[in-house]
Structure 1
Amino acid sequence: MSALIHPLQIGSVACANNLVLAPMAGITDSPFRVLCLRGGAGLVCAEMVSAHALHYGNPRSGRMLQVNAKEHPVSMQIFGSDEETIAQAARNAQEAGADIVDLNAGCPVKKINKAGAGCVLMKEPDKLARLIEAAVKSVKIPVTLKTRIALNHKEFLGARLAQLAESAGAAAVTMHARAAVDVHSGAPDVDALARVCAAVKIPVIGNGGVLTAQDAVKFLQAGCAGVMIGRGAVGNPLIFGDIIAELTGQAPAAHTPKERLKTYQALIEENVSFYGERIGINRSRKTAGYWIKDFPNAAEVRGQFVRIDTLAGVRELFARVLETL
């Protein structure tokens, strides 16, 4: 392997490489995580689950903790603002089979912030430390923190938050290299990320805007132990293997429309197997624009696809399209 691509150790968990799938709400469910591991990811992260909802026995949140035997190592992300419910959610994740528990302190979504969770925890470092400690004490698996370099452009918080996480017992920290006010826009601040890496001994995983091997190299050369990839993996779960191939001189995977459509059908089949036909196909529609593109009549195919509600119909449509590609 390249010197930049190497195994990643997070506490007791050994990952085959240091490329990580980011948690993304409504996207990084079990079928997609399995696909990304097949595509070369060293670690996959589940979409975040509300500790509060788990505490009150919400069945949908409980199902989100499900771990497929084919998707290890997997990190389960939780969010909340109360030590007791965070501790219980961490235990729930461990019991469900998660290899790592990740605490979210970086989400800028207003609904999450109004509940005292996500990036607003960056304003309350003492409280955040207590939440991390509560999770660490409640489980035997590693606990990590995902946060951001800053809330706004006035004050850099990344190094301080990483040191806080390390002192509270976190095994690693994922640092989104943008301020919370930026959400997902603008260039990541690689210099700020380097300052975070220099401030702690635990692994720092860089996150934010990684779409190419060159983006990953910038993070790794800044001192990151690993790189987390989010939206770059939507529609291309092979991005992990692509980056490894480029950095190690191997041949990249085929990315023709035909191969992409075959991969998308495999994901839809997994979704239907996991959720049942109706929900599985509905969830698949959310990312259709990422998959069905760049070939003749792609818009027309997408239009037909979103009106189909049976797996047999999907198979028939894709079979017709594949014959033309």
Structure 2
Amino acid sequence: MTAWVHELKIGSFTAPNNLWLAPMAGVTDGPFRALCLRGGAGVVCAEMVSAHAVHYGNARSRRMLQVDAREKPVSMQIFGSDEQTIAEAALAAEACGADVIDINAGCPVKKINKAGAGCVLMKDPVHLGRLVAAAVKAVKVPVTLKTRIALKRGVLLGAEIARVAESEGAAAVAMHARAAEDVHSGEPDLEALAHVCAAVKIPVLGNGGITDGAVAEQFFKAGCAGLLIGRAAVGNPYIFRDIAQALNGQTPAPMGPARRVQIYLELIEENVLRYGEKIGIGRSKKTAGYWLRDFPNAAEVRGRFVRLEQLADIRSLFAGLTF
């Protein structure tokens, strides 16, 4: 049997394993990163931070770069369209303890694209290469690039962009196997992903629609050196362990609703400790649909939960649930 899960060397950094948490805006903050590391993630990727905001000393963006020992190893993702600010943000992330710096060139959100960042950078691989080079020159830790196979279905750009990133010093490329216009829907194009993997010598980390061991194996067979798992980890931060077990021929323990709610409460409590009760509970509510599901009256419970503002009331609600 092929050992799909193993250590992964990214430039000067060696990850404990090659199943990583993908960056997700508003989700992959410190408490969730720490939870996914307990769930078996080799590296956790932080939510993206604006290089422009870091350059102008935005306090919130600077706080987003902060990590502690429980959240490492961590890849810090930055986004922008200017070489100087990308270099400054990379330096700031390195100073805050990032083990890897990742540049976002795949986000399809209009607000990001209007600023000349995210997936629109795919239109100009030369300019994108200069951004990669600026970050590589600025820091000692490895720099990676996260992008997509295409802007529009059928018009493949992934291999070209991966080669540019490699030539400018990127230590790895994370490739979402869907076009930007597909956002998070539709089947990943594994044939296009395989073409990217064959085009470069640096590691390619596959991303997009990885939900279990069977799908993960398809990505590895396409040539991926590692995987980024995002939305499937929300509601099951132990999916990294589950996939590793499945790829090793074992049957993962199911994530039942009782266990899911228990873990969710732990995450809410961590959010309250990190951000205070009001903000911590507010952040927790964003992903309630992923956690409070698959049990009788789950929709009703979610409705009650999102109206609560005190941790004691949430604990009481969860304690009274039956599964």
- SS in structure 2 at match of 1:70: helix
Task: Verify: 1:103 aligned to 2:103, yes or no.
Answer: yes
Distance 1:16 1:249 in 2: 20
Distance 1:187 1:299 in 2: 28
Aligned residue number for residue 199 of structure 2: 199
Aligned residue number for residue 83 of structure 2: 83
Distance 1:219 1:296 in 2: 35
Deviation of 1:251 (Å): 4.3
Distance 2:43 2:157 in 1: 26
TM-score by length of 1: 0.97
- Residues 2 and 267 of structure 1, relative CA distance in 2, 3 Å threshold: farther
- SS in structure 2 at match of 1:206: strand
Aligned residue number for residue 174 of structure 2: 174
1:127-146 alignment runs, 5 A limit: 127-146=127-146
Code of the residue aligned with 2:129 in structure 1: it is A
Aligned CA RMSD, in angstroms, stands at 1.2
- SS in structure 2 at match of 1:235: coil
Deviation of 1:61 (Å): 0.9
Code of the residue aligned with 2:87 in structure 1: it is A
Runs of 4+ in 1 over 2 A off after TM superposition: none
Aligned residue number for residue 223 of structure 2: 223
Partners of 1:238 and 1:253 within 8 A in 2: no
Distance 1:66 1:53 in 2: 15
Code of the residue aligned with 1:226 in structure 2: it is G
Task: Verify: 1:236 aligned to 2:255, yes or no.
Answer: no
Code of the residue aligned with 2:3 in structure 1: it is A
Deviation of 1:155 (Å): 2.3
Code of the residue aligned with 1:173 in structure 2: it is V
Deviation of 1:253 (Å): 3.0
1:1-325 alignment runs, 5 A limit: 3-321=3-321, 324-325=322-323
Code of the residue aligned with 1:217 in structure 2: it is E
- SS in structure 2 at match of 1:274: helix
Distance 2:259 2:59 in 1: 36
Deviation of 1:171 (Å): 0.4
Q: Which ranges of structure 1 fall in alignment gaps of 5 or more residues?
A: none
Distance 2:224 2:230 in 1: 16
Code of the residue aligned with 1:183 in structure 2: it is V
Q: Which ranges of structure 2 fall in alignment gaps of 5 or more residues?
A: none
Distance 1:63 1:186 in 2: 35
Distance 1:121 1:300 in 2: 43
Deviation of 1:153 (Å): 2.5
| Bigger mean CA offset, 64-73 vs 45-54 | 64-73
